Structure 1
């Protein structure tokens, strides 16, 4: 063997030394985590509140709340090495009153018989008592940020309110009695896990490090717009933010999706939560059918058997509409637009260290380890220890990842005025870089969810809002929340859009991922499963155009779909499956703390459907049989199983149809038996049969029963309704449902059918009334939508299928009209 050179030997020794230090560091980290278990926050509830720099949340005991309920953007921040907090939020929490004089740009605090007057932009305040005024100097000026007055925390807490303050690692405690955070790592870590899990972005370089990306975009033109290195929106003199300290806005109006001025008897999209609309490919207002797909939305006048197209919205080749909303003269198009580039780009590549310039005037910087936000920094100056303004700083290359590509993708929402359906008018558009994930709508407010995922090495997503301009610009850093260890190296972005007026879009992004969406009247939840066998849940507070990150939590197992989540009386119920361990039902409070659970249910089986109805829950699991479990959730801290029903087959979708009645749509199964030489039979599996519609009586929580069922077709039968609830048309007045299906006949495949099943559930019986025959389209093209739905207007059923709309008499199911789109 050739002897190793001295140079190589030295390098090897250095490598081994570094590795041993790294391994030792890891071991110390593990030991540290073991030494500091979670703290019990309940003992601090009555005597202290906790905040975290960059977090819009406040912690009192185990309960998290918004620092400012009227403005979800407000968070404690660092300015000139001082921690600033919202004056109103902190003062009012401890019983003071706060007002704002917009003419003088002054915030006034009244507490303990005194008044304290803070002129915006001045490093002083006036203390007024018995008509005597005293001027007190501050070490930094009062600012306006997000329409709120920000002042140094020690000043407001200690000097004005006579409270105690302490800091450690971004955590802030304000208390009646002195509480030292030094040596209380368990308490600090617990607080950080609750309100410090996501904080406001500080700079693009910080985002780049966290996402393991570099702000380099090769051949891609990023609109020429620079991203500011300051993640706060401040006004030093108050001259441009006269709405500061305005009272909290009234809760946004919400209700059921409004029906138009046409017939009062027409179908709407089958949704999970009453009053929360969901987008779909077909909508109707009782006079017109709106049919979306590919590069077009087709608008068809539907008057019984008479069908005529009145207009078509054609989109460019790079723009694809996926779903739509319709509400009182407003049509919303949702989908993706692809922007192509001539050359591929490589956002992250290996390379030598590069020099970047610290932006002049930046007042928010990364502080050195061990320096508290309110502590002075040696050397002074606003740039801290990161260098003087304009100084070049060496930045080491990040971990190499290469993403070659020729395009960028934007999720879009186009708002049209269709008060005259024959002449749709585009009112405004919103685009967010990334891919359209999902959406919800309540009242006039649309909530769009975009995921960037691994796409394109995005550091700061581009946003285009035609209310503000036609050019796509990077998001404001103040609208980005950062998780130190993101679930996914990308963003999930929530956009709030008022479809009725010309107001600008409000956005909130977080370095995470969310694949399952659930929305209640006041909150939107995004859930994603991790490789560690848990589900991570992010909560956004929703109040009209006021949206904000409200916390996160984690439960064991994986969700099936959006029906696995449900909010009731402020608590979130979540159903999960852990493979080979069983199934779980968790109850989380408004702060996403787990307060109740049922675990290990039906081991070896998987959840196939879930439905929550008030203080009751229903879960279907399956392996070879179909158990329906009934849960009593009246006590959120002690959920319990009250009944169980086992039967062949399974239900993929559960739909409440009346008091104590649930309709199930799923599949029939037949048990496979192995018989030995002595005639002994052993179950060895199952064979899937036809579609199965079941009617369950759950009025007795202890004894659920299947009243009746209907099996349609044989093995090979299929329907979109098995995985998409919006494919099911529900007519409560006539007590029937309809959905597109393929009905297989295994013994005679030539008799298999494709069409829309019409099924009634009147008088506690399941009856197939007929099937609306599918017709093979003969016209194809980018302006022909593809997708199948059933809708009704008055006494006419409309079967919309792959560019053909057929009309059927609702009673006889005879075809009475037809229109082929061209």
Structure 2
């Protein structure tokens, strides 16, 4: 710091020394504000549905999961500006509270001069079908500089106003794609690439997106213990569940104050995935936030009372997701360059895996000219979990992923608002870029890339089967104010090289996809405006996909799940056809034994409930056909855990509705071991006897 800068800082300090920070701007108050906003969001779920007027241009219509322009509410923006200013005066930058904050930092890269001609990043530009690896770090840096130049031009076109991109819907975030839980063996065989983890005879497992591809979660069981992420995010509590009297017997604690995101428990080991903020000290002794890294720390839990760390491995960025397949862990993190670059400063904008910079030939360039972040992918053999097997870094503007049994599909929903910024008009229907990366025994290899019109609702709208990639997309147009004017939907079929071989266009005008599910050669997807059309698509001839049926009922299904042979479960919202008012959540069982003639077998409406975590995180559902259990939590006056069963003759029956305890941000999970059902939320565990669902025990951790 120069002398003049030091004098300025002292003057600011003197001038503000006696100014009290308003209580409303203290960290605890801001945290409470954000928590209240989250609660408000839940309450507004049904209001957003009610606001969907008969006109397709209703601005309140739920936006599709791609990127949209959105102004930051001035009150919250002011709070963050003041807090950021406080952090800077203190000489320490404030780390982001989540991955989104880190992504925003990437705009700090130096932009080209105003008169420079940086290559355009227009999403309408055709792309090469081959994935291109970088030949030098200069190519990589150019992508960041192009992004910064585009953002600068966009800002200038809007009169200097800051334009925020709206992040993808929760379904598209690290969050994880949705699930099939336990289906019959016949259904699993018919489902092909989509199925969920079938529970063993004595305990349930995490609901997963793809059969045989395990996923991490916030609650796990080995059949004898419950492993539960605590509200502090620094501890996983171990609860003995071998008898009716539950008791905490141990803890797994992350090293270096790591913030645990989720974990696996497998074969006497716990694989713990955590984020760690990196802080460096400047020459003048000032501590500066230097980004984050995610760490995989492995623990021996053969003695659950005394877990022992076996070591860790790290990679740059914020943890996004992971998969465990055939003894190999595949880790995904989002890395954004944390601060502006000096002219010849290369190190900060190259991610690291296991302490080593990713080689330029392992960095995949984006299909278009610009990028503002990486998706870092690393693989680890679970038998040697402190060493990496392979790694790739995928340059992108945003990213989500769908993982099939043999390929990772990195997809981006993209919209260009340059026409809007320049002319005040926009007719941008979006496009998806998809990159295919093959994986096997820990080895990763880029295969192909493609661009498809529209945007994806979530990972259930993209599916691989017998080498073919199928997508259900929504195309939306927007006016100059950012309100949706029209929408339509499409089905696309791509071959192994991501070349399109078949499509259906012009589906369900003025509606958009709310949920989708693929089962082998058949796909089902739900759109919504005033009623819930469930469409059936025959994909047996990839070159000629056909809509073979549709069923319209009030409301919409946010989540679809197979329930044995010829049955499809839907969880969503019930909506009055005339008034558009939501009546509550609904659970529907569809008879899909004849895909061309789908019938509503039964529907149960949970009156007063206005939403569920299942809508944004499929792992929150517990569905077991073997045990005839459908479990999930919903929000009414209080969060409540519901359990249903289903009989072809009697229909759906609500057999449990118990308030969820545990004041925590950690999500709610249902787990069963033998004849006991557990409702788990952070520091509270409650157990019930399967069959009667009478309370057995509870414990506060």
TM-score, with structure 1 as normaliser? 0.57
Q: Using the alignment, how far apart are the partners of 1:344 and 1:628 within structure 2?
A: 62
Q: Between Structure 1 and Structure 2, whose CA radius of gyration is higher?
A: 1
1:729 aligns with 2:622: yes
Match in the other structure for 2:593? 699
Task: Quickly say closer, same or farther: Cα 1:655–1:257, change in 2 above 3 A.
Answer: closer
User: Offset at 1:735?
Assistant: 1.1
Does structure 2 conserve the Cα–Cα contact (< 8 Å) formed by 1:267 and 1:730?
no
Which moves more between the two structures, 624-633 or 526-535? 526-535
Q: Using the alignment, how far apart are the partners of 2:373 and 2:526 within structure 1?
A: 34
User: Offset at 1:500?
Assistant: 1.8
**Among residues 401, 411, 414, which one is paired with 1:517 in the alignment?**
401
Match in the other structure for 2:8? none
Q: Using the alignment, how far apart are the partners of 1:344 and 1:719 within structure 2?
A: 50
The structure with higher relative contact order (CA 8 Å, sep 6+) is: 2
In terms of fraction of residues, the more helix-rich structure is 2
Task: Quickly say closer, same or farther: Cα 1:563–1:455, change in 2 above 3 A.
Answer: farther
Which residues of structure 1 form unaligned runs of 5+?
1-189, 215-253, 346-403, 466-471, 674-685, 744-751
Does structure 1 conserve the Cα–Cα contact (< 8 Å) formed by 2:197 and 2:207?
no
Match in the other structure for 2:371? 488
Match in the other structure for 1:633? 539
Q: Using the alignment, how far apart are the partners of 1:315 and 1:505 within structure 2?
A: 23
User: Offset at 1:322?
Assistant: 1.1
Does structure 2 conserve the Cα–Cα contact (< 8 Å) formed by 1:282 and 1:289?
yes
Match in the other structure for 2:300? 417
Matches within 5 A, 1:605-620: 605-620=511-526
Matches within 5 A, 1:481-560: 481-483=364-366, 485-486=368-369, 488-501=371-384, 503-532=387-416, 533-560=430-457
Task: Quickly say closer, same or farther: Cα 1:416–1:461, change in 2 above 3 A.
Answer: farther
Match in the other structure for 1:327? 266
Q: Using the alignment, how far apart are the partners of 2:278 and 2:674 within structure 1?
A: 43
Task: Quickly say closer, same or farther: Cα 1:255–1:728, change in 2 above 3 A.
Answer: closer
1:639-681 deviations in Å (ceiling 9; x for gaps): 01000101101000001112221000000001345xxxxxxxx
Q: Using the alignment, how far apart are the partners of 2:371 and 2:135 within structure 1?
A: 19
Does structure 1 conserve the Cα–Cα contact (< 8 Å) formed by 2:295 and 2:315?
yes
User: Offset at 1:318?
Assistant: 4.4
User: Offset at 1:314?
Assistant: 2.0
Q: Using the alignment, how far apart are the partners of 2:249 and 2:198 within structure 1?
A: 20
TM-score, with structure 2 as normaliser? 0.67
**Among residues 555, 567, 587, which one is paired with 2:464 in the alignment?**
567
1:336-379 deviations in Å (ceiling 9; x for gaps): 1111234599xxxxxxxxxxxxxxxxxxxxxxxxxxxxxxxxxx
User: Offset at 1:620?
Assistant: 0.1
User: Offset at 1:295?
Assistant: 1.1
Task: Quickly say closer, same or farther: Cα 1:772–1:667, change in 2 above 3 A.
Answer: same
Does structure 2 conserve the Cα–Cα contact (< 8 Å) formed by 1:446 and 1:499?
yes
Q: Which runs of 4+ in 1 moved over 6 A?
A: 254-260
Task: Quickly say closer, same or farther: Cα 1:483–1:526, change in 2 above 3 A.
Answer: closer
User: Offset at 1:495?
Assistant: 0.8
Match in the other structure for 1:758? 643
Q: Using the alignment, how far apart are the partners of 1:433 and 1:728 within structure 2?
A: 31
Task: Quickly say closer, same or farther: Cα 1:316–1:429, change in 2 above 3 A.
Answer: closer
Provide the aligned length of Structure 1 versus Structure 2. 498
**Among residues 208, 213, 233, which one is paired with 1:276 in the alignment?**
213
2:506 is paired with a residue of what secondary structure? strand
Q: Using the alignment, how far apart are the partners of 1:817 and 1:278 within structure 2?
A: 29
Q: Using the alignment, how far apart are the partners of 1:792 and 1:801 within structure 2?
A: 14
Q: Using the alignment, how far apart are the partners of 1:557 and 1:405 within structure 2?
A: 41
Which moves more between the two structures, 755-764 or 491-500? 755-764
Aligned CA-pair RMSD: 2.8
1:679-698 deviations in Å (ceiling 9; x for gaps): xxxxxxx1122110001111
Q: Using the alignment, how far apart are the partners of 2:415 and 2:526 within structure 1?
A: 24
1:267 is paired with a residue of what secondary structure? coil
Does structure 1 conserve the Cα–Cα contact (< 8 Å) formed by 2:235 and 2:254?
yes
1:208 is paired with a residue of what secondary structure? helix
Q: Using the alignment, how far apart are the partners of 1:702 and 1:462 within structure 2?
A: 50
Task: Quickly say closer, same or farther: Cα 1:459–1:536, change in 2 above 3 A.
Answer: farther
1:709 aligns with 2:603: yes
User: Offset at 1:449?
Assistant: 1.1
1:717-739 deviations in Å (ceiling 9; x for gaps): 22101221100111222212111
Match in the other structure for 1:797? 677
1:216-246 deviations in Å (ceiling 9; x for gaps): xxxxxxxxxxxxxxxxxxxxxxxxxxxxxxx
Does structure 1 conserve the Cα–Cα contact (< 8 Å) formed by 2:404 and 2:464?
yes
Does structure 2 conserve the Cα–Cα contact (< 8 Å) formed by 1:256 and 1:276?
no
Q: Using the alignment, how far apart are the partners of 1:440 and 1:551 within structure 2?
A: 21
1:97-134 deviations in Å (ceiling 9; x for gaps): xxxxxxxxxxxxxxxxxxxxxxxxxxxxxxxxxxxxxx
Q: Using the alignment, how far apart are the partners of 2:433 and 2:488 within structure 1?
A: 19
Which moves more between the two structures, 664-673 or 474-483? 474-483
Matches within 5 A, 1:236-275: 264-275=201-212
Which residues of structure 2 form unaligned runs of 5+?
1-124, 148-192, 341-346, 417-429, 477-485
Task: Quickly say closer, same or farther: Cα 1:704–1:255, change in 2 above 3 A.
Answer: closer
